[in-house]
């Protein structure tokens, strides 16, 4: 089962991975902003948390889900990169030859 998922992940084109990473990064940033604003929301003194950070169970679950998803995505992208490097011989392509500019003198 893991091998099939790994093969499927390795077959995803690079542009699609970039798009997935952009979407996941945006979602992680939005989730972080949401949690940060929930933590900084003004509360009545009687509702003040006893500890420094007090999250509702839903917010705590959301936070763990965001972190877990980010960790899984990072690991998957790293593994995909390792596979691509393995298929390509392990070395990067040769650098492009330098371009030579011909400067014209103005009359």
* pLDDT tens-digit map of 26-37: 999 999 999 888
Residues 6+ apart with CB under 8 A from 34: 62
Residues 6+ apart with CB under 8 A from 73: 20, 21, 24
What's the whole-model pTM score?
A: 0.34
Question: Which residue segment(s) compose the domain that 71 sits in?
Answer: 14-40+54-89
Longest dimension (CA), the chain: 82
Residue 2 belongs to a domain: no
Q: How many domains does the chain have?
A: 1
Predicted confidence at residue 46, as pLDDT, reads 66
Residue 106 belongs to a domain: no
Give kind and range of the element (H or E) at residue 19.
helix 14-40
Residue 74 belongs to a domain: yes
**Residue 97 structure tokens:** 């030859």
51 or 7, higher pLDDT: 7
Residue 25 belongs to a domain: yes
């Amino acid at each position: 089962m893991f091998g099939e998922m790994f093969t499927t992940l390795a077959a995803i084109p690079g542009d699609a991975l970039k798009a997935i990473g952009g979407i996941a990064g945006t979602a992680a940033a939005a989730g972080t902003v949401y949690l940060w604003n929930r933590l900084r929301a003004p509360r009545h003194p009687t509702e003040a948390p006893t500890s420094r950070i007090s999250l509702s169970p839903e917010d705590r679950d959301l936070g763990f889900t965001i972190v877990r998803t980010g960790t899984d995505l990072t690991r998957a992208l790293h593994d995909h990169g390792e596979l691509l490097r393995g298929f390509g011989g392990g070395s990067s392509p040769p650098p492009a030859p330098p371009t030579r500019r011909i400067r014209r003198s103005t009359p």
